[in-house]
Structure 1
Amino acid sequence: MRVEIWSDIACPWCYVGKARFEKALAAFPHRDGVEVVHRSFELDPGRAKDDTGLVIPMLAQKYGMSEQQAKEGEARLGENAAAEGLDYLTEGRDHGSTFDMHRLLHFAKEQGRQDALLDLLYRANFADERSVFADDERLVELAAAAGLDADAARAVLADPERYAAEVRADEREAAELGANGVPFFVLDRKYGVSGAQPAVVFTQALDQAWGSRSPLTTLDGAATGDACGPDGCEVPQAKGDV
């Protein structure tokens, strides 16, 4: 069975959702028979490589909130990440184009190192103070840490056309499947799970997809999971918020 996951490195719910899915997969009795493939999805396609900025001011401007409210939202996202055993910097992070990261992930897929690189990119973006944006040498370091040849990774980054078609193809396919936000999980082209659902929902999806032969169906209760879309990322509400 194949599980395809559309995600973006800039998406905090993709970071959390990957951990929740892997928790379900680890307990799945047929996990050795499951192939996981990561697909590209840019939340801000077409963004210039050198266009970077801090996350907190961006959130405040985008949603018309104060910077304090943006900080509180990031703190709640950090709590969700921590619940999955993930580190998360709630202040000081930046954001920018993820196109080159997706190209590099396609290269890593050919080398059998895609999942390892994705984990490192997530951790670098959400848990490390050093930026991953507009810094090719930083990406080369992460590629090497994932087991890829540093010079080969550097060559990919130096040629903007390398794997660009593969990234765009993934993004077109996401649109065809009806995915307008990420993370978006497609299990054996039978079921779609949208958002960073609890592990129990992924367990249900794995069980159903393993034994079923139906067209792609969005699971009941799975359409409202926390996700990131073109308009931004949903922020978990504090207890008692309406």
Structure 2
Amino acid sequence: MSLSDLDFPEAPESREPVRRRRPAIHVAPITPGASYRTKVYDTLKGAILEMDIYSHSEEVRLEERQLAVKLGVSRTPIREAVTLLEHEGLVRAEPRRGVVVMRRTRREILEGLTLWAALEGMAARLCCTVASSAEIEGLQEKADACAWLRESETPSEYSEENLTFHRHLARLSRNSLIAGRLDALFLHLRGLSTVALSRTDHAERSVLEHGRIVEAIAARDHDRAEQLVRTHALGIERLIKVCGAHLR
């Protein structure tokens, strides 16, 4: 199945655009103890993942000096952390221009969704064979947690719990390569997903689809489990149509 084969309802009419302020990174001073580089890396990564970078078309830049002041450290651990983040594809360092927070293009996101569908579909097939009944019950608990957060109407928390469900499913496949590749994909799709979930009914549909996926795995129905996961992953294309106006 490809993205073009899916029949999605028409995206709702767009409302009058609202001018949004460029997001700022929110970090707290680093406390002494463990490696500064590790702490700075963890802090910056967490803050970047929380930033809303898909609601506008402007680039988001980070300035070394400001980050050093906010974190209460020298520039050295900032630069070391930026190097690690650049290797993960979260930022891009530009000489004399600072650090740019990376935003995926429309093509990159669509390609990532296709890869997600293929990899997690295979993971679901493997789960039907290798996951124990107790592990599948644990996956159901993750699905239930998503449902609870959906009712509490907290898009960012739901988005994080949603990724927890998918990561857990991938790990149950017992295939570390699939799980690792999916984890990297989720890292780059998280920001767009959080924004989209706050504006569409996708979260409600997602909760229902999670339940069906777990049921298929529990029934050891390889074909149905794979098909449900593929449809679920490719369904995010609808979110891009609704809220991805700024994507190139």
Normalised by the size of structure 2, how large is the TM-score?
A: 0.29
Structure holding more helix per residue: 2
Normalised by the size of structure 1, how large is the TM-score?
A: 0.30
For the pair shown, the structure with the greater C-alpha radius of gyration is: 2
Structure holding more strand per residue: 1
